[in-house]
Amino acid sequence: MMKKIILLLLCTLGLLQLASAQKFVNKEVTFASSDGKIQYAGILSVPEGSKKKYPAVVIVSGSYKQDKDGMMAGHPLFKQIADDLSSRGVAVLRLDDRGTGKTTGVYETSTTGDFADDALRAIQYLKGVKGINTKKIGLLGHSEGAAASAIAASKSKDVAFIVSVAGLATSGYESLIQQNEDIVNASQLTEVDKKRSNEINGLMFKVAFKYADSDSLENKLNTTYNEWKVKDDAYFKTLNIEFDHFRFPVYSYVNYAIGPWYRYFIKYNAPKTVGSVKVPILALNGDKDLMVSGKSNLENWKKYAAAGGNHKVETHLLPGLNHLFLPCVTCTTQEYASIKASFSTEALHIIGNWIQSI
């Protein structure tokens, strides 16, 4: 009898949730950058039937080109977030990144600072949309997108709040060190090769940071690698191992490091930026994230914001979730495509309730 009562209650709650979900419509939208050089395109999800003006969110994507749905390894993360928020009465704008879909521009020559400017331009667009509460337009940033959101909020009072999802609140140089060590230490490399990988990564990142603003960066990186290689070859000979399977992708790394995005990102100053944000912040991270360390970044959101006088920060470390907020086993990037689950419903619940409460 007790089981039947519980089942009946669950079914009733489910029906109530369905009944209370707000209808919304998806509209294709386009608008231009302030200088007219970039045409942005995406989807605006707008609640229907609301008698009062509704809050709005601009989704700010993370590293690498993404479309408006945030399709990563077969998971349309941004669409799932947008659908859930819009069913709660929140308008959501999700855009194709520069050079993706119907958005023009060149992604490869853009920086995190440029993406922050894109987010601010999107807010300006939303201010002209009927029905939106212009004083409650915030940014939801995933991964690097959270850093871009913080940059935007530090520059403009138009940002009413920030939601950080697997977001970065660590300085660029420190985050690269942490991220690569986490990935290497979770890999199938031997302990010897893990040590070698962390060593050369650390050396290269240190030089990239030091010479980020210099024309000599390429030469300094190649010199650093060549000097390390001589010492590493001598070290490997002492191990009495027949074959050396370790390879550092020096050519591709140097080409990447001398580009505008990397030069900007490695110099990103999280304490200064987050300390300049005065609006409410909600930060969620998964504790199995190998790309953005959950515990340390959540601590940084609170610590850096508080140092600037902002104590309106709420954080959540969610168990068992990877960088895409999916439940994982190995939690490596290679596992993403095989995961059948959708974006964490617990995270969606926290985000939706928080936006409605502020």
What is the Cα–Cα distance from 110 to 261, expressed in whole angstroms?
A: 6
Which residues make Cβ contacts (< 8 Å) with residue 292, sequence separation at least 6?
143, 166, 167, 168, 170, 175, 179, 285, 323
The pair of structure tokens assigned to 97 is 């990144």
Name the more confident of 284 and 48.
Answer: 284
pLDDT of residue 20: 58
For 199-227, what is each residue's pLDDT tens digit? 999 999 999 999 999 999 999 999 999 99
> So what's the pLDDT on residue 63?
87
- Domain 22-170+269-357 class? alpha beta
Q: List where CATH 3.40.50.1820 sits in the chain.
A: 22-170+269-357
pTM over 0.85: yes
pLDDT at 29 over 80: yes
Q: Which residues contact 187 (CB under 8 A, 6 or more apart)?
A: 194, 332
Strands (E), 33-77: 39-47, 54-60, 71-72, 75-76
In 198-223, which positions are buried (b, 16+ CB within 10 angstroms) versus exposed (e)?
Answer: bebbeebbebbbebbeeeebeebbee
Give the confidence band of 115 by pLDDT, cuts at 50, 70, 90. Answer: very high
Would you state the pLDDT for residue 4?
41
Q: What is the pLDDT of residue 85?
A: 97
In percent, the amount of the chain with pLDDT more than 70 equals: 94
pLDDT tens digits for range 324-347? 999 999 998 999 999 999 999 999
- In sequence order, what are the residues at sequence separation of 6 or more whose Cβ sits closer than 8 angstroms to the Cβ of residue 27? 43, 44, 45, 46
Tell me: pLDDT of 51 over 90: no
The answer to whether residue 9 scores a pLDDT higher than 80 is no
Given this model, what pLDDT does residue 134 score?
A: 96
Provide, rounded to the nearest whole percent, the portion of the chain with pLDDT above 90: 86
pLDDT at 221: 98
pLDDT for residue 21 = 77
Tell the burial category of 235 from Cβ atoms under 10 Å away from its Cβ (0-12, 13-18, 19+): middle
pLDDT in tens, 267-301: 999 999 999 999 999 999 999 999 999 999 999 99
Tens digits of residue pLDDT in 61-97: 998 899 999 999 999 999 999 999 999 999 999 999 9
From residue 196, alpha-carbon distances to 242, 332, 350 in Å are 17, 20, 41
Q: In angstroms, rounded to a whole number, what is the distance separating the alpha carbons of residues 104 and 36?
A: 11
The beta-strand segments (E) located in 143-255 are: 162-165
pLDDT tens, 234-264? 999 999 888 898 999 999 999 999 999 999 9
Q: Is the pLDDT of residue 32 over 80?
A: yes
Mean pLDDT confidence for 11-23: 51
